Structure 1
Amino acid sequence: MAAVTIRLARAGDAPLLHHAILAMAAGMGAQARVTSSPDDLERYGFGDEAAFEALIAEIGGAFAGMCLYFPSFSTWRGKPGIYIQDIFVEPAFRGRRVGERLLKAAASRAHQRGAAYLRLSVDTANLGAQSFYARLGIEWSQAEHIHGIYGDAFSALAQCQSSEEER
């Protein structure tokens, strides 16, 4: 059995990352919600002001999975951490602890930079992922609910502030 290798994603891996995002969305029946492109991932994920990092797992030179994350900061803890945005393992490689290795590698990289925690969100219907995270000690926080604003509503909120500043 070939070993799992994990490496930092490069700009040329953007199509591979996007493939994983689309496959993850398809598994949840949410393909229509993905509006990103490989170009978006390359533009925002690599370079001097990268918005995220990603790790890629390979087995025998084949893409086995990925973990995409970015820094965060807890004002209550007074410490930096990371937020796992996406983690995906190709179906052919599931059951080989690829996801666990990706999470451990992301946590290790973050810990080396001073991070003290890891956070992520899980789709409420994804019971398999919830069980997987629980086995690793990643617990559901009953004290928090994630809220979001997107698209036109976000633009309107941002423009509202800009308009108030001009007055």
Structure 2
Amino acid sequence: MNPKGPFMTTTVSIRRANPRDVPTIAEYNIALASETEDRRLQETTVTDGVRHFLEHSEFGFYIIAEIEGKPAAQTMITYEWSDWRNGVIWWIQSVYVSKAYRRRGLYRKLYEFVKTSAQNDGGVREIRLYVDRENVAAQHTYEALGMQRSHYLLYEAEV
């Protein structure tokens, strides 16, 4: 193996997800909830939710990073209309990198794909994401990519 890591000799490809990716995306979302919020999600609920999302492009889309044809990371983009900007804000959500591939630049590649896609879209005015305030490593990653901390706080209420 290459001493600089497996990415030096492997190909990373980034693409939009398709229905064949539903099982992987569901698996990654379940792992994400477990690792970040210590929440156990129901596999059937998550699988149905991912499938529904992919069937409704008006909600957004998933992006998959593959290494040698195998899914290694994902993120989801959802849309928010901004009347202040007369355009769309893309929200980056459900970021997950498989444990076997962490700390190797996969999120950077996903983000670059998102940013380029947003620039090419013509209607996207901003890219946003939220991050757990205690996830300092992720915050450093986002800042290193040129993202800035927002002045907004996030509030929520379950219904």
TM range (shorter): 0.7 to 0.9
What is the count of residue pairs matched by the alignment? Answer: 148
Deviations 1:122-142 (A, max 9, x none): 01121111110010111211x
**Change in CA separation of 1:148 and 1:53 when aligned onto 2, cut-off 3 Å:** same
Give the structure 2 partner of residue 82 of structure 1. Answer: 90
- Gap runs ≥5 in structure 2: 1-8
**Which consecutive segments of 4 or more residues in structure 1 shift more than 4 A?**
none
Shift of 1:77: 2.7
Normalising by structure 2, we get a TM-score of: 0.84
Q: Tell me how far apart the structure 2 counterparts of residues 144 and 106 of structure 1 sit (CA, whole Å).
A: 22
Q: Please tell me whether Structure 1 or Structure 2 has the larger radius of gyration of its CA atoms.
A: 1
Q: Specify every segment of 5 or more residues in structure 1 that has no aligned partner in the other structure, as ranges.
A: 155-167
| Residue 46, structure 1, aligned to residue 55, structure 2 | yes
- Distance of 2:48 and 2:82 partners within structure 1: 31
- The aligned residue for residue 134 of structure 2 is 125
1:135 to 144, 148, 155: 144
Q: Percent identity?
A: 26
TM-score of the pair, normalised by structure 1 = 0.80
Please state how far the C-alpha of 1:26 moved relative to its aligned partner.
2.1
In the alignment, the residues of structure 2 paired with residue 74 and residue 51 of structure 1 have an alpha-carbon distance, to the nearest angstrom, of 15
On the 8 A contact 2:26/2:46 being kept in 1, the answer is yes
AA paired with 2:46? S
Letter in 1 for 2:10: A
Residue 34 of structure 2 is aligned to residue 26 of structure 1: yes
Q: 1:59 aligns with which of 67, 79, 89?
A: 67
Instruction: Name the structure 2 match of 1:104.
Output: 112
